[in-house]
């Protein structure tokens, strides 16, 4: 419908005034709902969501976590990221200066947790440094990490067990607690030391050898390895070292290379980004944290040794490790180790708690797990290199033993479509 313009006394038109008034009316609510407009996703013309990422990229866990965030964001909506170190000062500067719509970061202390709560916008915590942060959290199953460490060392026949971590830090305390529970269930005890500390060298020198040392993180494991080198303690012959997070640089650049429990860092990033997205859409924050299982132990030289006193049993286990890349039967072990089948079965069950056939299967699965995590080999090729008859047998055995399909180790739990 045409509108006839009527000139006012200043020479303008009523229609022009109406248009200016209409433009002002439309602009105000758009400004007030900036976050809501961004939340409309990838619609044409929508503003990107501003997400503050406060991550220390010198740690492998946070690099993996960032990959998971990218997996989610690139397939869902335009997100605009800005990064900073996860410190209180950096958080204050970024939140006040850039004015993001949401934040994702490890919460290192109670002061940072209080800052994020006062800020009042969606924020997700991706660490477990503070027990009562009162913020939505996505993290790892610390109990399963501790249990995996105990199982790894028990499988190798150790009788002396130690832990080096950070007393009073929740993730370290819970890893220790689960490690100790699993060892007590097997009739063993664990010795504990804080790190860093002036007494660490004395603690390590005082351990009966050979000893299995579980470290709270790969960073702690690196530090312990350096102390061992300076003190003349051999790794893994005197002390076997196992860390957490499978940080590629720390683990492979160390001397010797460090074994580690591969955590679900990438999956945590993906799930944390999804939770942040749901919070931006108005969903209520979950009351309980979302906790994901670790992927398992990646064995390198720092634990690639057996602590078995019986020479026949040690020879049999060594034979299995050397030949697990091909089909292997128990009768072949008996040709290499001059004992009866019954005697060999008894030795395996009394010391390791499993049969020779179960040991063959365990070694193959651990070797396959490492190839899945560290290479791009197809699963069929991994099956061939670990002595399985084919992909079908490998897939069925892997899922039966580990509780998850082999392919799950190579992608976030909810792969983006």
Q: How far is CA 314 from the centre of its chain?
A: 33
Determine the Cα–Cα distance for residues 61 and 248; give it in Å rounded to an integer. Answer: 10
d(CA 79, CA 76): 9
Task: List the chain domain ranges.
Answer: 49-140+267-292, 142-263+296-303, 311-410
pLDDT of residue 268: 97
Count the Cβ atoms, other than its own, within 10 Å of residue 26.
9
pLDDT, averaged per 10 consecutive residues of the chain (417 residues), comes to: 34 44 41 44 65 95 95 84 94 95 96 96 97 95 97 92 94 97 95 76 93 96 95 94 96 95 96 96 95 93 86 90 88 91 92 89 88 87 90 91 84 45
Instruction: Count the neighbouring beta carbons within 10 Å of the beta carbon of residue 201.
Output: 16
Write down the pLDDT at residue 3. Answer: 32
- What are the backbone angles phi and psi of residue 69, rounded to the nearest 5°? -60, -45
Q: Would you identify the CATH topology of the domain 49-140+267-292? A: Rossmann fold (3.40.50)
The candidate with the shortest Cα–Cα distance to 128, out of 353, 242, 364, 289, is 289
CATH architecture of 311-410: Orthogonal Bundle (1.10)
Q: What's the rounded Cα separation, in Å, for the pair 190 and 98?
A: 48
Q: What φ, ψ does residue 138 adopt, rounded to 5°?
A: -120, 130
Q: Cis link prior to 196 (omega < 30° from 0)? A: yes
Calculate the alpha carbon distances from 35 to 124, 136, 226, 342, 402 in Å.
Answer: 17, 20, 49, 71, 43
d(CA 258, CA 240): 9
CATH classification (class only), 142-263+296-303: alpha beta
The span from the CA of 159 to the CA of 189, in Å, is 9
pLDDT of residue 197: 63
Buried b / exposed e along 67-103 (16+ C-beta atoms within 10 A): ebbbbbbeebbebebeebebeeebbeebbeeeebbbb
User: Could you please report the per-residue DSSP string of 316-379?
Assistant: HHHHHHHTTTS---HHHHHHHS-S-HHHHHHHHHHHTSS-HHHHHHHHHHHHHHHHHHH----H
Structure tokens at 14: 């009523």
Q: Which residues contact 148 (CB under 8 A, 6 or more apart)?
A: 261, 294, 296, 297
**Domains 49-140+267-292 and 142-263+296-303 equal at CATH topology level:** yes
Q: What Rg value do the Cα atoms of the chain yield, rounded?
A: 28
């Amino acid at each position: 419908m045409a509108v006839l313009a009527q000139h006012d006394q200043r020479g303008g038109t009523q229609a022009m005034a109406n248009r200016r008034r209409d433009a002002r009316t439309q602009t105000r609510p758009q400004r007030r709902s900036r976050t809501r407009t961004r939340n409309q996703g990838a619609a044409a013309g929508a503003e990107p969501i501003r997400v503050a990422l406060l991550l220390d990229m010198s740690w492998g866990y946070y690099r993996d976590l960032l990959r998971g965030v990218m997996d989610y964001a690139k397939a869902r909506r335009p997100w605009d990221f800005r990064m900073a170190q996860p410190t209180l000062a950096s958080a204050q500067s970024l939140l006040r200066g850039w004015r993001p719509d949401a934040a994702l970061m490890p919460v290192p202390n109670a002061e940072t947790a209080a800052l994020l709560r006062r800020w009042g916008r969606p924020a997700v915590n991706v660490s477990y440094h503070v027990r009562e942060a009162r913020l939505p959290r996505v993290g790892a199953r610390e109990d399963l990490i501790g249990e995996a460490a105990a199982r790894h060392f028990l499988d190798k026949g150790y009788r002396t067990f130690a832990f080096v971590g950070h007393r009073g830090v929740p993730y370290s305390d819970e890893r220790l607690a689960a490690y100790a529970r699993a060892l007590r269930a097997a009739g063993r005890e664990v010795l504990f030391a804080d790190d860093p500390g002036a007494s660490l060298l004395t603690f390590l020198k005082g351990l009966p050898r050979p000893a299995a040392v579980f470290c709270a993180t790969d960073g702690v494991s690196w530090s312990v390895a350096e102390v061992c080198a300076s003190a003349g303690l051999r790794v893994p012959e005197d002390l076997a070292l196992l860390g957490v997070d499978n940080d590629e640089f720390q683990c492979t650049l160390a001397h010797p290379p460090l074994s580690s429990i591969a955590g679900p860092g990438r999956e945590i990033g993906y799930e944390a980004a999804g939770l942040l997205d749901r919070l931006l859409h108005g969903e209520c924050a979950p009351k309980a944290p979302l906790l994901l299982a670790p992927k398992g132990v990646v064995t390198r030289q720092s634990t690639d040794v057996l602590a078995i006193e019986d020479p026949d049993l040690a020879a049999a286990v060594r034979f299995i490790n050397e030949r697990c890349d091909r089909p292997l039967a128990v009768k072949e072990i008996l040709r290499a180790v001059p004992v009866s089948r019954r005697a060999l079965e008894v030795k395996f069950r009394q010391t390791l708690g499993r049969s020779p056939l179960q040991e063959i299967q365990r070694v193959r699965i651990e070797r396959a797990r490492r190839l899945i995590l560290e290479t791009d080999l197809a699963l069929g090729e991994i099956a061939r290199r670990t002595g399985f008859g084919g992909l079908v047998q490998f897939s069925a055995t892997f899922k039966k033993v580990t509780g998850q399909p082999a392919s799950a180790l190579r992608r976030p739990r909810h792969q983006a479509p």
